């Protein structure tokens, strides 16, 4: 009996030793494969098969160590050095890596971005075919990478905050496919130099304040391209610089750990305990991973010999993580020299084969296009369309190209069609050209917005129901009643921002709602627009429905970077694999002075393609736009009129059901003489002018565009113009801003120029920001008298 239990013990010790050894060797294998990917990847760029390469060499061991503690349900918000992490978690394969390097547009080959992103930008599927959220709690999740340094930081706050909400909010507990009791940790990686960005500091501070489960990893290789850390970081050390944020007994803050990138065993030990602590306590932590190397330099765009000293280069060779891990395995007798050599050979072989497989898949469809094109060109030659040898030369040129791309085939077809026209033989060439063109545009230009059946773009709208004796109440009270009903009806809604929680926003739209629905649903944030937007992005990616506030539209620029780079591009750049249906709530247009009456709509139009831009004229319309947006998965921004909160509106009876269709203008005053197109606050100026003009015998038709993106899907403005033959666009953006955009859409896209009797006009604010005070407003923004005068001039023309 005793003997057998001793044997059992020995057996189990042997088993656990074997398991440990296998795990270590598997990690080493991953590190070797990843290194080979970097080496071969760079060659592919240098030989011209790929355009640009940025790789994770030098960070392999640190990443296999970190990935060991990344569990299903966890999220990575990382950057372009995370290839080893992506391989180790199984989110990406080596073959997929090469497909992305070659920019293969077939999502079956590059599922992460379908050829739309540079290499090393991974994305795991968060949403399914019909836009529905997948079982994220049971998957390892990587949020789509971005190239701007530190852009991954803001959303990490939201990805981590979601865990806290899922753990603390009872109403969210049934959503077990999205979270397992909030156990999920957000891993957030960043290079040492990128910690110089404000994004980093704002994010780490917010994590320390909110106590959310995020693990920041700083890969410190001492450089940001060529600039060393003495020019980047106070005291040349991010862990030193962050000491004031370190959590102590009885305070909030972050835990800080220092590890060495070549010390596999040391990192595993620290990461294991520290990540578990984050998972259990939601206290955030930062790992300062020091002594990272970069064997091949920053990217394929340059060589590091230009800025690293020979001593530094020699040190990097000696302290290479893979080399050190190998030495450690041998010292601890976990494998023999021969075993490691075999493993290294097998790793190289696997990468080489994967590379060829990716290239063959990338090239096969192009090769087929070349063959068909060759046949079409030969047919032309046979039919006598080549008397000057032009077709033969096009053919030879195409066939001489050993690595043609789709563009080369299209150029050949386009040129050949022009020659064939002289013989009326261009038909088949043109048909094939059109087919390939359509295919190409399909590869690159789809999925800017949701393609799901519940797309807000498909919403037809619902009627507004108002009782005959409905009370007239303030605009903010309409919103308040609406948000109250919304929180009661949908447990996934959360709203937050500056002054949103306790006082219920500066205009009382949420007044009393935190007290009623709880601090997990409606809450205050620090003054940090950038990470308020990031918070919204992360929460939305995890399946919640955040309404994130920018207190005044003028401050949108602080939060614009994550909106333009992350939110607006996410669905497109992942070809529908990921969505962030964030709703940004803000208030703008005329009120008082330079920073409380901005209307930078042109700025938004130019930077937020991929979001919907809603510009309601009153709060009931705003409600209808919130409802439409919340019924689908696209991100949207709603600009409420700052001067509309205290204007009286009739209280509808169907606040929760009322939906405004996007991209459908409304004629709010009918007339036959001139069409005035506007939106938001200027509509009140326009309506006043219309009354004055009516007394002068001029009958204005006033059109509210309602949403700038999408813009007038059914050409309702054109219908009005056909009737009046005169049109003026009015808004309070700068000249050439959103009014210029509307002008262009109606003239060019809708063909409005054909219906004009007089020159079309715009009336906008001045080229500078608005001055303070009522006179400042009068002389800076369009006013009633100006509209009256312009319209009268147009009528006289």
Binding site for ligand TPP (CB under 6 A): 81, 147-149, 191-194, 219, 221, 223-225, 298
Cβ neighbors of 432 (< 8 A, separation 6 or more) are 372, 373, 376, 413
Nearest approach, Cβ of residue 561 and ligand TPP (Å): 9
Nearest approach, Cβ of residue 227 and Mg ion (Å): 9
| Catalytic (active site) residue 112 | no
Comparison of 279 and 298: residue with beta carbon closer to ligand TPP: 298
Name which of 681, 779, 679, 785 is nearest 738 in CA terms. Answer: 679
Is 316 a residue that touches Mg ion (CB under 5 A)?
no
Comparison of 221 and 263: residue with beta carbon closer to Mg ion: 221
Cβ neighbors of 760 (< 8 A, separation 6 or more) are 726, 727, 728, 729, 743, 746, 747, 752, 753
DSSP string, 666-719: EEEE--SSEEEEE-TTHHHHHHHHHHHHHHTT--EEEEE--EEES--TT-HHHH
Q: Reading across the β-sheet that carries 700-704, which strands appear in turn?
A: 666-669, 700-704, 674-678, 727-730, 761-763
Measured in whole angstroms, the distance separating CA 797 from the mean position of its chain's CA atoms is 48
Nearest approach, Cβ of residue 567 and ligand TPP (Å): 17
Bridge partner residues of 790 (DSSP): none
Comparison of 98 and 200: residue with beta carbon closer to ligand TPP: 200
Which stretches of 696-783 are DSSP H helices? 716-724, 738-744, 773-780
194 binds, among Mg ion, ligand TPP, none (CB under 5 to 8 A by kind): ligand TPP
Comparison of 295 and 652: residue with beta carbon closer to Mg ion: 295
Nearest approach, Cβ of residue 220 and ligand TPP (Å): 8
Q: Scanning residues 545 to 604, which ones bind Mg ion (CB under 5 A)?
A: none
The answer to whether the beta carbons of residues 60 and 41 sit under 8 Å apart is no
Bridge partner residues of 152 (DSSP): none
Nearest approach, Cβ of residue 302 and ligand TPP (Å): 11
Rounded-to-integer distance, Cα 517 and Cα 522, Å: 7
Nearest approach, Cβ of residue 328 and Mg ion (Å): 24
Name which of 677, 665, 664, 666 is nearest 743 in CA terms. Answer: 677
Nearest approach, Cβ of residue 192 and Mg ion (Å): 4
Rounded-to-integer distance, Cα 319 and Cα 311, Å: 12
In this chain, which of 57, 221, 459, 673 binds Mg ion, going by CB under 5 A?
A: 221
Q: Which two tokens stand for residue 292?
A: 């990272």
Nearest approach, Cβ of residue 571 and ligand TPP (Å): 22
Comparison of 56 and 509: residue with beta carbon closer to ligand TPP: 56
In this chain, which of 107, 111, 191, 663 binds Mg ion, going by CB under 5 A?
A: 191
Taking CB positions, which residue lies at the least distance from ligand TPP? 191
626 binds, among Mg ion, ligand TPP, none (CB under 5 to 8 A by kind): none
Comparison of 363 and 558: residue with beta carbon closer to ligand TPP: 558
Distances, alpha carbon 349 to alpha carbons 45, 392, 659, 751, in Å = 20, 42, 58, 60
Per CB under 5 A, the segment of 11-19, 111-119, 216-224, 446-454 that binds Mg ion is 216-224
First-last CA distance in the chain: 111
The one catalytic residue in 288, 571, 589, 596 is 596
640 binds, among Mg ion, ligand TPP, none (CB under 5 to 8 A by kind): none
The answer to whether the beta carbons of residues 679 and 705 sit under 8 Å apart is yes
Rounded-to-integer distance, Cα 69 and Cα 78, Å: 16
Comparison of 98 and 187: residue with beta carbon closer to Mg ion: 187
Rounded-to-integer distance, Cα 244 and Cα 229, Å: 20
Comparison of 191 and 663: residue with beta carbon closer to ligand TPP: 191
Nearest approach, Cβ of residue 760 and ligand TPP (Å): 39
Kindly tell me the burial class for residue 386, based on how many C-beta atoms sit within 10 Å of its own C-beta (0-12, 13-18, 19 or more).
buried
Rounded-to-integer distance, Cα 184 and Cα 282, Å: 9
In this chain, which of 27, 33, 57, 192 binds Mg ion, going by CB under 5 A?
A: 192
DSSP string, 563-628: IIIIIHHHHHHTTTS-----EEEEEESSSSSTTSS---HHHHHHH-BTBEEE--SSHHHHHHHHHH
Name the one residue in this structure whose structure tokens are 């409606």. 522
Comparison of 227 and 458: residue with beta carbon closer to ligand TPP: 227
Per CB under 5 A, the segment of 188-196, 233-241, 314-322, 323-331 that binds Mg ion is 188-196
Taking CB positions, which residue lies at the least distance from Mg ion? 191
The residues that are catalytic are 596
Task: List residues binding Mg ion (CB under 5 A).
Answer: 191-193, 221, 223
């Amino acid at each position: 009996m005793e003997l057998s239990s001793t044997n059992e013990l020995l057996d189990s010790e042997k088993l656990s030793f074997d398991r440990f050894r296998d795990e270590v060797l598997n990690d080493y294998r991953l590190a070797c494969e990843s290194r080979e990917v970097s080496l071969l990847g760079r060659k592919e760029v240098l030989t011209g098969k790929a355009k640009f390469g940025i790789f994770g060499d030098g960070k392999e061991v640190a990443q296999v160590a970190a990935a060991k503690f990344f569990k299903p349900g966890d999220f990575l918000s990382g950057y372009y050095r995370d290839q080893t992490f992506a391989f180790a978690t199984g989110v990406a394969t080596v073959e997929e890596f090469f497909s992305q390097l070659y920019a293969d547009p077939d999502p079956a080959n590059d599922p992460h971005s379908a050829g739309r992103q540079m290499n090393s930008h991974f994305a795991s599927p968060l949403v399914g075919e019909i836009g529905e959220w997948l079982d994220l709690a049971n998957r390892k999740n990587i949020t789509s990478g971005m190239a701007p340094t530190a852009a991954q930081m803001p959303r990490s706050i939201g990805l981590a905050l979601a865990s806290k909400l899922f753990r603390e909010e009872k109403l969210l507990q049934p959503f077990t496919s999205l979270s397992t009791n909030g156990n999920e940790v957000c891993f957030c990686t960043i290079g040492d130099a990128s910690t110089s960005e404000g994004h980093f500091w704002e994010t780490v501070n917010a994590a320390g304040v909110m106590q959310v489960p995020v693990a920041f990893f700083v890969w410190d290789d001492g450089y940001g391209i060529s600039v060393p850390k003495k020019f980047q970081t106070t005291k040349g050390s991010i862990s030193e610089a962050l000491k004031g944020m370190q959590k102590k007994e009885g305070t909030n803050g972050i835990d800080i750990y220092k590890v060495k990138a070549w010390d596999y065993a040391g990192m595993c030990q620290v990461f294991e305990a520290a990540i578990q602590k984050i998972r259990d306590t939601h206290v955030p932590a930062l790992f300062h991973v020091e002594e990272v190397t970069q064997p091949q330099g920053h990217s394929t765009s340059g060589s590091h010999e230009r800025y690293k000293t020979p001593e530094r280069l020699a040190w990097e060779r000696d302290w290479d993580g893979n080399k050190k891990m190998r030495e450690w395995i041998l010292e601890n007798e976990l494998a023999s020299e021969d075993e490691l050599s075999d493993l290294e050979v097998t790793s190289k072989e696997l990468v080489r084969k994967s590379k060829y497989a990716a290239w063959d898949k990338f090239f096969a469809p192009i090769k087929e296009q070349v063959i068909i094109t060759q046949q079409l060109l030969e047919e032309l030659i046979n039919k006598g369309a080549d008397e000057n040898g032009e077709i033969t030369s096009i053919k030879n040129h195409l066939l001489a190209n050993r690595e043609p791309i789709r563009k080369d085939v299209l150029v050949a077809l386009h040129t050949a069609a022009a020659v064939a026209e002289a013989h009326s033989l261009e038909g088949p060439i043109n048909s094939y050209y059109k087919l390939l063109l359509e295919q190409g545009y399909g590869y690159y230009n789809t999925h800017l917005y949701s393609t799901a059946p519940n797309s807000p773009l498909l919403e037809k709208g619902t009627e507004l129901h108002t009782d005959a004796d409905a009370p007239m109440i303030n605009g903010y009270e309409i919103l308040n009643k609406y948000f109250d009903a919304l929180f009661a009806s949908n447990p996934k809604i959360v709203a937050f921002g500056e002054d949103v929680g306790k006082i219920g926003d500066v205009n009382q739209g949420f007044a009393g709602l935190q007290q009623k629905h709880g601090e997990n649903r409606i809450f205050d944030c620090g003054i940090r627009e950038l990470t308020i937007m990031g918070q919204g992005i992360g929460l939305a990616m995890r399946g919640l429905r955040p309404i994130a506030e920018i207190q005044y539209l003028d401050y949108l620029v602080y939060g614009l970077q994550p909106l333009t780079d992350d939110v607006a591009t996410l669905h497109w750049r992942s070809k529908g694999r990921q969505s962030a249906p964030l709703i940004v709530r803000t208030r703008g247009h005329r009120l008082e002075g330079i920073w409380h009456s901005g209307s930078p709509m042109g700025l938004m139009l130019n930077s937020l393609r991929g979001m919907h831009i809603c510009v309601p004229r009153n709060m009931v319309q705003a409600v209808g736009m919130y409802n439409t947006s919340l019924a689908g998965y696209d991100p949207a921004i709603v600009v409420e009129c700052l001067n509309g909160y205290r204007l009286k509106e009739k209280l509808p009876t169907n606040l929760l059901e009322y939906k405004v269709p996007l991209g459908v203008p409304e004629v709010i005053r009918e007339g036959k003489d001139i069409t005035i197109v506007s939106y938001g606050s200027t509509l009140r100026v326009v309506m006043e002018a219309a009354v004055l003009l009516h007394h002068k015998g001029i009958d204005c038709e006033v059109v509210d565009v309602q949403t700038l993106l999408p813009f007038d899907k059914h050409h309702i403005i054109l219908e009005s113009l056909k009737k009046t033959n005169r049109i003026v666009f009015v808004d309070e953006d700068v000249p050439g801003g959103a009014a210029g955009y509307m002008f262009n859409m109606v003239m060019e896209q809708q063909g409005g120029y054909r219906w004009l009797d007089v020159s079309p006009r715009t009336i906008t604010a001045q080229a500078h920001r608005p001055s303070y005070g009522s006179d400042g407003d009068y002389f800076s923004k369009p006013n009633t008298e100006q509209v009256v005068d312009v319209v009268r001039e147009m009528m006289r023309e």
